[in-house]
Structure 1
Amino acid sequence: MTLLTRRGFLAAGVAASAMVQFPRIGMAEPPAIGLRAASRTLDIDGRAASVWGLAGPSGQGLILDPGARFRVDLTNDLPEPTIIHWHGQIPPNAQDGVPDMPMPKLKPGETRSYDYAAIPGTYWMHSHIPKQEMRLLAAPLIVRSASDIAADRQEVVMFLHDFAFKSPEEVMEEIAGGHAPSGHEGMDHGAMPMKQPMAGMDHAGMSGHDMSGMSGMAAMQMDLNDYDWDAYLTNDRTLSDPEVIRVERDGRVLLRVVNAAAATVFWIDTGGVQARLVAVDGQGIQPLTGTRFGIAMAQRLDLEIELPGTGSWPILAIREGARERTGLILATAGAKVPKLTPLADQNAAAFDTDMAQEMRLIASDPLPAREVQTSRALMLGGTMQPYRWTIDDKVWGEHVPVTARSGERVEIMFHNMSMMGHPMHLHGHTFQVVEVNGRRFSGARRDTVYVPPMAMVTVALDAGEAARWMLHCHHMPHLETGMMTEFAITT
């Protein structure tokens, strides 16, 4: 599969046909972009795999040109109802894409129209039914800006998945039944010993170039991976047959990385070429230079890369706490393309256990200073046996909503009391990370923040449309077992 990777691709004159619940004004709009939730077949190391996806006019996913509205007709060609969430975008609540909040799922054969002002940046779209996302019902949603056009650089999408030949139902049964991942290196259930960092060490990495960090949690155990997936994919391909992106000599690349995995945190390793991290979750940050950056489920990274002359440059995504990896290769014409193995030489580190990476991310456009009107602390908890994941010791249906009035400045503190990390995602808003483990700072603006075991992370936001907005962990097995609540806004 060729993903939407080339600059200037898809001059999307996006418009959507009218619909009763989403009325529009005017008669001269261009036709809608058609988007289909449909089955497809992948070749996974020589074995056919039936998965789901989101097919636009030019393949999986959509790219919108600067200033274009998100005007899409979504058709459900699957054999069961579905609903798609436009992750990180801020549509009217009725178009957000959560079952019965407030719109029902699309029945097989049904079409629904969407029309809202798109936010520029690296985003994605996926089913908001966890087992469907585990079947790869997801795709990139890239909204280009005028500055992207002016930058004169090649844009490459790196869309990451974890994949199982077993059905999501079988995967969940194994996880809930105590299935212990092998880790392929004798790791016990993904657990790794946590060691106290050495005094004076730069936790952001050597000379600021390796952001893997070290843990500040002494004598603790954390669960990194609760399932061994059959394959790890970049743009639907494994490292046995990676996508090779042809680039120009001395070319400039904007690498848009999306972690669409159900339950895997990755390290993005640019190897022999330096990268500048310039945005996270579609929001600009003060640039950071390095060769290794972590990315939790549902998060995105924008990396600027200047290629030195001619050659080939593998860009790898390595599973945290393990050796499995996936990736793509940037290569100039005629360059020798290396053969890569699916296993690294050694286990990767755990991701950001002391939040060293997160604390180096500084918003380029921070929220304006305001008095906080509403604050709430949420306790993140859960256990592997029984497999149950909670917010304030409650699962969805028992939850107590976070409440605020539209326009209020709100702070939410996530306190993770479990031994697994949780990428926490809020619908309908961007927020700013403003405190980590008691330290205040002007952190990145995001829509998904990773909260490692025993950590405390506070985010600030201005409450938006008066509606019910989902707030949940983006680890799909955790979400499937109820790790979600809601942000209920009133006028």
Structure 2
Amino acid sequence: MKLISRRSFLAAGAATLSAAALPRFANAQSAMALSAATRVLDVDGRAATVFGLEGSSGQGLVLDPGQRFRVDLANRLDVPTLIHWHGQIPPNEQDGVPDVPRPMLQPGETRSYDYEPLPGTYWMHAHIPLQEMNLLAAALIVRSAEDVKADRQEVVMFLHDFSFKTPEEVMQEITGGHGGGHDMSAMGGQSDPGASMDHSGMKMDMSSMQGMAVDLNDYDWDAYLTNDRTLSDPQIVRVEKGGRIKLRVINGASATVFWIDTGELSARLVAVDGHAVQPLEGKRFGVAMGQRLDLELELAGDGAWPVLALREGAKERTGLILATPGATIQKVPALGDADTPAFDIELSQEQRLRATDNLPPRAAQRTQMVMLGGSMQPYLWTIDGKVWGEHKPIVATTGERVEIMFHNMSMMGHPMHLHGHVFQVVEINGKRFEGARRDTVYVPPMGMVTVALDAGEAARWMLHCHHMPHLQTGMMTEFSVSA
């Protein structure tokens, strides 16, 4: 087969985000159509009806450099919903949290959005845990001028965990039949907290973890998906011989931490959560729920290269295969030979990350300790000993430099996501440094992570764990900013 030149290849593909056949829009002034709707997947030979977010050319959206986020969101489902633009900073009324401040979108209703987006790798999902568990999520890519100029192919790797059971049935199993806590579909209302537990008085240091079991995974899903497919029928992404790849990894899973393994390919981690970091070389990179990674890969000659997502603490894996035309593609089993390691308690990868654009140096004007607690029995997860509805907001004033220390007093890790802000990781387990800029930070069992930020728009901004069963049981508070 005759190979075209790299430039011709990229021109022909218009720098396609081939992983999800995502749409591009040349006219920056026109509104993009986006629909929350049902769709049918083939999961290991079985049909599964799930939710999705469909643009004009498939799941997800792609914006060109300088293009505004102008979207008409239509609800084609038979239930109310609302979509959160994860990591973006729209005006608060467009943030997509039910009743904070706007109500959910009713079946058949359409709502318009318009704001200036941040460039980078982002995603969008229902801010209703059971709907996100039913795959109501997709990639949201905002390309930069550098992306357009770069001589490389862009590939999206959107990860999810999947069950043939309904999300309600999954929650029944996880909670041992206790119903899963709160009705989080009305997140702005004061839902009944039920039987809450106050963990604020717990005291435990790192040495007390010796011999204690860390709870890595609280549910065994039926399948683990990359771009809606398992390794029984993975996506084959056609690439050019000797080409360069920008791999945009999005962990949209409900409850699964992954290691991204590039196998024979060396990679450079160049951005996390849409924000550039000083390049970090390696072949294995961790990504928690809600987080994103941008990896640069260089291909040597012809061949086929699996890029896998390995489930933390288990053998299950998913992934896609980069392959030059005509390359022989070997079957990749869905189970590895050994359990993948857990994230380490010291977050060694996170400690090595350095932002290319630090927060301006300022002393913190407000500091807040946030205690993360909970247990598997009963299955209940809290912030400062409280569940949503009886929570006490974290307060700040617009423009203040704020530091939030997350102190995890539980035996599970918690990916903590803050709406409406970009923060910088500045301390892990007492070690101070200028780390990555993020919107979602993983706090390991019994670990402490401090982030710094400048308080933004005066509004109620959600702060919550991005483990969906944890969120469903009420693990959310708010960052209340006043003028």
| Counterpart AA for 2:283 | T
What residue number does 1:423 align with? Answer: 415
Name the counterpart of 1:432: 424
Task: Give the letter for the 1:343 counterpart.
Answer: L
Shift of 1:371: 1.6
C-alpha distance in structure 2 between counterparts of 1:299 and 1:8, whole Å: 21
1:53-452 to 2 correspondences below 5 Å: 53-177=52-176, 218-452=210-444
Of 446, 450, 453, the match for 1:454? 446
The structure-2 alpha-carbon separation of the partners of 1:292 and 1:81, relative to structure 1 and needing over 3 Å to count, comes to: same
AA paired with 1:246? R
Verify the 8 A CA contact 2:371 2:383 in the aligned structure 1. yes
Question: Following the alignment from structure 2 to structure 1, what is the Cα–Cα distance between the partners of residues 325 and 311?
Answer: 30
Quote the Cα distance in structure 2 between the aligned partners of 1:161 and 1:302. Answer: 17
Q: Deviations over 1:149-195 (max 9, x none)?
A: 1112000000000000000000000000089xxxxxxxxxxxxxxxx
TM-score, structure 2 normalization? 0.89
Query: In structure 2, what is the equivalent of residue 201 of structure 1?
Result: none
**Aligned counterparts of 1:246 and 1:422: Cα–Cα separation in 2:** 36
Does the 8 Å contact 2:22/2:59 carry over to 1?
no
Letter of the aligned partner of 2:361 in structure 1? Answer: A
Runs of at least 4 residues off by over 3 Å: 6-11, 215-218
TM-score normalised per structure 1? 0.88
Match of 2:461 in 1: 469
Paired letter, 2:465: C
Deviations 1:296-331 (A, max 9, x none): 000000000001111000000010000000000000
Aligned residue number for residue 188 of structure 1: none
Q: Residue 183 of structure 1 aligns with which residue?
A: none
Q: CA deviation at 1:219?
A: 2.4
Residues 377-425 of structure 1 show CA distances to partners (whole Å, capped at 9, x for unaligned) of 0000001111100001000001000000000000000000000000000
Aligned partner of 2:4 in structure 1 is none
Shift in alpha-carbon separation, 1:420–1:7, aligned structure 2, 3 A: closer
* CA distance in 2 between partners of 1:8 and 1:218 (Å): 47
Q: Secondary structure at the match of 1:94?
A: helix
Q: Which amino acid aligns with 2:308?
A: L
Question: 1:31: how far off?
Answer: 2.8
> Looking at both structures, which has the greater relative contact order when contacts are Cα pairs under 8 Å and sequence separation is at least 6?
2
Amino acid at match of 1:389: W
Q: For residues 333-368 of structure 1, what are the alpha-carbon distances to aligned partners after superposition, in whole Å with 9 as ceiling and x for unaligned?
A: 000011011000000000132211110011110101
User: In structure 1, what is the equivalent of residue 474 of structure 2?
Assistant: 482
Say whether the 8 Å CA contact 1:14–1:33 is kept in structure 2. Answer: no
Code of the aligned partner of 2:77: L
Report if aligned partners of 1:40, 1:51 keep a CA contact under 8 Å in 2.
yes
| Paired position in structure 2 for 1:43 | 42
Query: Structure 1 pair 379/54, CA: closer, same or farther in 2 (3 Å)?
Result: same
Deviation per CA, 1:106-133, whole angstroms, max 9, x where unpaired? 0000000000001000000000000000
Q: CA deviation at 1:4?
A: 4.1
Secondary structure at the aligned position of 2:253 is classed as coil
Q: Is the 8 A contact 2:290 2:415 kept in 1?
A: yes
1:427-486 Cα deviation digits (max 9, x unpaired) = 000000000111100000000000000000000000000000000000000000000000
Aligned to 2:194: none
Deviations along 1:238-294, one digit per CA (max 9) or x if unpaired, are: 000000000000000000000000000001000001000000000000100000001
1:216–1:354 CA contact under 8 A, matched in 2: no
Distance 1:147 1:241, change over 3 A: same
Instruction: Determine if contact 1:352/1:358 at 8 Å carries over to the other structure.
Output: no
Residue 14 of structure 1 contacts residue 71 of structure 1 at CA under 8 Å; is this kept in 2? Answer: no
1:220 to partner: Cα distance:
2.6
Contact 2:346 2:429 in 1 (8 A): no
Three-state SS of the structure 2 residue aligned to 1:239 is: coil
Contact 1:7 1:153 survives alignment (8 Å):
no
Find the aligned partners of 1:69 and 1:96 in 2 and give their Cα distance: 15
Quick check: 1:14–1:69 contact (8 Å CA) kept in 2? no
Alignment match, 2:3: none
Task: Please say if residues 225 and 264 of structure 1, whose CA atoms lie closer than 8 Å, have aligned partners that are also in contact.
Answer: yes
Name the SS for the 1:223 alignment partner. coil
Identity of aligned residues (%): 71
- Specify the alignment match of 2:8 in structure 1: none
| C-alpha separation in 2, matches of 1:14 and 1:113 | 17
Number of residue pairs aligned between Structure 1 and Structure 2: 440
Paired residue type of 2:132: E
1:5 aligns with 2:21: no
2:346–2:428 contact (8 Å) kept in structure 1: no
Q: Structure 1 residues 338, 74: closer, same or farther in 2, change over 3 A?
A: same
Whether the 8 Å CA contact 1:54–1:139 is kept in 2: the answer is: yes
SS of the residue 1:453 aligns to: coil
Give, in angstroms, the shift of residue 5 of structure 1: 2.0
In structure 1, distance between residues paired with 2:442 and 2:152:
30
SS of the equivalent of 1:304 reads strand
Letter in 1 for 2:65: P
The answer to whether the 8 Å contact 2:17/2:153 transfers is no
Residues 178-224 of structure 1 show CA distances to partners (whole Å, capped at 9, x for unaligned) of: 89xxxxxxxxxxxxxxxxxxxxxxxxxxxxxxxxxxx9953231000
Q: CA RMSD in A?
A: 1.6
Name the aligned partner's letter for residue 247 of structure 2.
L
Letter in 2 for 1:317: A
Secondary structure of residue in 2 paired with 1:381: strand
Consecutive unaligned residues of structure 1, counting only runs of 5 or more, are: 16-29, 180-214
Instruction: Report the AA paired with residue 88 of structure 1.
Output: G
